[in-house]
Amino acid sequence: MEDYSFIYLIGDPVEHSISPQIYNAAFIQENLPYKYKKKQVKKSNLVDILEKFKTDGTVGFNVTIPHKTLILKYLNELTPIAQEIGAVNTVKIEEGKLIGTNTDIVGIRDALSEANFPHIQDLSIVIVGAGGAARSVSKYFSKFDVKLSIINRTVKNAEILSNALISHPKTNAEIHFYSLNSPKKKQIFQSADLLVNATPIGMWPNINETIFQNYTPLDSQWIFDLVYNPIETQLVKTAKKMGCKLINGLDMLIYQASEAFKWWTGKYPDINLMKKVAIEKLITIFLK
Ligand code: NAP
């Protein structure tokens, strides 16, 4: 008989996730009777899995592609932040009820703070991508008095995200959207104080790709690559060479994981341990 309870990552695909290593190291260190496992869940299985979780002693779970927004309608409660973002990445189960939250905003806030990012005002922020990660990043910056540009391969998705931001009462930013094919692309990139890659471009195994093809960042620009596998993407390598300041995608992952850990267990984990384990695992993947 197992004497621990499970916490899962559900999504499709999940096989490349390093979350089990990160969380399990922290559960062991904190002497908590939990085990974290990945579970591949197809869209057609989502409802059945959620019903099972409600009664089988599961403590909670993380949610990834493609369920982050789809899951909303099946949850019993949402925190205000999950309602605001319109996506859930963390769920806890209490008395058979599924309670969803979103820890990405905390991950972004703390990664910016770790990098000593300046006071957010009168900045031009350019986000490449309009998927789930771009939604969190744009939500974070939309409250500030900044110019926020969303540039995406499918311009319709950039437009939908922009409209959602514009119509939100808490948005203070001036919002623009563009196609990644825009002839103004270089100008848009050059105008940025902060450039964010919120696409999977450059992610293992396509490590030689970069979203900023034919654009070399300026030394005055901040670069935030959300891709953390490999630890140093091609974009980060180029940005370092150019003397740019960097915000670390792995920090975002670790800080959002730390917040999820707190949501399930009531206490914060050892961030340094989580980061050390993550780096070890990423190096193993890279050397394979
Ligand atoms: P997603 O919801 O699938 O969105 C992907 C976005 O990237 C979409 O805007 C998509 O454009 C664009 N895209 C995909 N392939 C592209 C290509 N070949 N060329 C140009 N654009 C492309 O994924 P997501 O959840 O936002 O995740 C994006 C990346 O962020 C992933 O690598 C993920 O690992 C990373 N991430 C990191 C953290 C962290 O904590 N550091 C957190 C979340 C996500 P279309 O609209 O045209 O499809």
Please give the sequence-ordered ranges of beta strands (E in DSSP) within 121-259, or none if there are none: 124-128, 147-152, 174-179, 194-197, 222-225, 245-248
Which residues are marked as active site? 68
Task: Determine the Cα angle at 188 with ends 223 and 230, to 5°.
Answer: 30
DSSP secondary structure of 49-64? HHHHHHHTT--EEEE-
Ligand 1: lining residues by beta carbon, under 6 Å: 65, 107, 129-134, 152-154, 157, 180, 198-201, 203, 226-228, 249, 252-253, 256
What's the chain's average pLDDT? 95
Give the integer Cα–Cα distance in Å for 66 and 261.
22
pLDDT tens readout for residues 138-182: 999 999 999 999 999 999 999 999 999 999 999 999 999 999 999
Q: Give the number of other Cβ atoms within 10 Å of residue 170's Cβ.
A: 9
Please give the distance, rounded to the nearest whole angstrom, from the Cα atom of residue 44 to the centre of ligand 1.
22
pLDDT score at 2: 62
Q: Which residue has the higher pLDDT, 156 or 283?
A: 156
Q: How far is the CA of 55 from the centre of ligand 1 (A)?
A: 33
Pick the residue whose CA is nearest to atom 14 on ligand 1. 199
Which atom number of ligand 1 is nearest to the Cα of residue 252?
Answer: 40
End-to-end alpha carbon distance in the chain: 35
Whose CA is closest to atom 42 on ligand 1?
133
The string of pLDDT tens digits covering residues 48-58 is: 999 999 999 99
Specify the ligand 1 atom closest to the Cα of 158.
Answer: 46
Q: What is the pLDDT of residue 175?
A: 98
Residue identifier of the C-alpha nearest atom 10 of ligand 1: 129
Atom number, ligand 1, closest to the C-alpha of residue 156: 46
Mutate to test the pocket of ligand 1, among 104, 199, 211, 274 (most ligand atoms within 8 A of CB): 199
User: What pTM does this model have?
Assistant: 0.95
Write the pLDDT tens digit of every residue in 250-261. 999 999 999 999
Cα 129 to ligand 1 centre (Å): 6
pLDDT level of residue 287 (50, 70, 90 thresholds) = confident
pLDDT of residue 241 exceeding 80: yes
Q: 37-84: per-residue pLDDT in tens?
A: 999 999 999 999 999 999 999 999 999 989 999 999 999 999 999 999
Residues facing 99 on adjacent strands: 77, 92
Structure tokens at 97: 């009820």
Q: How far is the CA of 197 from the centre of ligand 1 (A)?
A: 8
Please choose from 114, 139, 226 the residue to mutate so as to test ligand 1's pocket, defined by most ligand atoms within 8 A of CB. 226
The Cα 253–Cα 262 span in angstroms is 14
With a cut of 90, say whether residue 127 has pLDDT above it. Answer: yes
C-alpha 241 – ligand 1 centre gap (Å):
25
Rounded mean pLDDT, 109-120: 96
CA distances from residue 145 to 140, 173, 178, 246 in whole angstroms, order as listed? 12, 5, 20, 22
Cα 164 from Cα 116, distance rounded (Å): 29
For 179-201, the pLDDT digits (tens) are: 999 999 999 999 999 999 999 99
pLDDT confidence bin for 214, thresholds 50/70/90: confident
Looking at residue 211, what is its pLDDT?
87
